Amino acid sequence: MAKCSVCGAPAVITLRSQRRSLCSEHLIEYVESRVEKVLRKARVRGGSLILAAISGGKDSATMLAALSRLSSRMGFRVIALHIDLGIGEYSRRSREASLSLTKMLDVPLVIIDLKEAIGATIPELARGSRRPVCGVCGLVKRYVINAAAVELGASYAALGHNADDIAAYALKSFLTQDLEYIAKLGPYTESIEGLAVGRLRPLYEISEKESFVYAVVNKLPFYHEECPNVDPEQLEVQLKEHISRLEQSKPGIRLGLLKRMSKRLSEYPSVEAEAKACRHCGLLASAEECSFCRLTQRVLGKPLGLKLRNYIRFRISAIKA
């Protein structure tokens, strides 16, 4: 059995790109030092508030545990947000896992139940709009996360994307020449006062495998099954598999891509459009209406951004009380 390159104890993981193996204690130290590096780059400090969006899966469990440990050392605060998407058994189990995780870590949790908030689940919104379910789901999640982060006055909304995910998004953006999206794929993005809160990707330099092993050695509760709507034919799903195979033959290629890319983000084109406030809900929009208000107007007959914002305010006041 491989031994830890730092202390000689039995190793739980081998980092091939660094030609070393780590025991559980040193893996934990390694993951948290990488997360801390992102937080320092993003100028997270004492008094900052991070809203961590958790799905109930392994990556968000790892992200929340690392943030929660670093928060006591660095003096910032963390609140978790889980969105119940209404996708049958998957959503039920993900919600349970999020509750267990936040209880174990003693982190306050805000649950936004879509059916309760706007009267429709993700599958119902997708059917009503005749759009692909993942496109609708992504739009709704972005809206809810931003609305909750604005409401809390958070410095950042943290997402559990790991290095494999981000490398796949970057390659997809290059293949489709959506270069504006690459400009947003750094470890963090800036906020727009009152309209949008910056995104933070604490697992920017953590691979999927490292994230999984961290969650297992820390005995974090998480739901193992993927959403039933994951389509193996999707471009980013296939790219993730290709990158993972490439990493086997060329260890370090994935992290090398992300590190080089994050140094050159300003060289990619960025969207120049003026930031506007949606006329219905007041949050960030590229036109008169934000995409969430447009979607709900089309499917449910009314723009429901404001209704959802009020529901979020109510849920947040319950955890503050």
- Chain center to CA of 264: 22
Q: Give me the helix-helix angle, 208-217 and 24-41, nearest 10°.
A: 120
83 binds ligand SF4 (CB under 6 A): no
Q: Which is nearer to ligand SF4, 23 or 159 (CB)?
A: 159
Q: Which residues pair with 102 in a beta bridge?
A: none
| Partner interacting with residue 133 (select from ligand SF4, Zn ion, none; CB below 5-8 Å by kind) | ligand SF4
Do 137 and 229 touch, CB atoms closer than 8 A?
yes
Q: Select from 17-25, 74-82, 134-142, 266-274 the region that touches ligand SF4 (CB under 6 A).
A: 134-142
227 binds ligand SF4 (CB under 6 A): yes
Note the maximum CA span of the chain: 64
The pairing of strands 156-158 and 199-200 is parallel
229 binds ligand SF4 (CB under 6 A): yes
The residue from 163, 293, 295, 316 that contacts Zn ion (CB under 5 A) is: 293
Comparing CA positions, the residue from 40, 104, 102 lying closest to residue 76 is 40
| Partner interacting with residue 227 (select from Zn ion, ligand SF4, none; CB below 5-8 Å by kind) | ligand SF4
| Partner interacting with residue 275 (select from ligand SF4, Zn ion, none; CB below 5-8 Å by kind) | none
Q: Which is nearer to Zn ion, 88 or 138 (CB)?
A: 138
Q: Exposure of 115 by Cβ count < 10 A (0-12 exposed, 13-18 middle, 19+ buried)? A: middle
Q: Write down the least CB distance from residue 30 to ligand SF4, Å.
A: 28
Instruction: Give the interface with ligand SF4 as residue ranges (CB under 6 A).
Output: 122, 133-134, 137-138, 227, 229-230
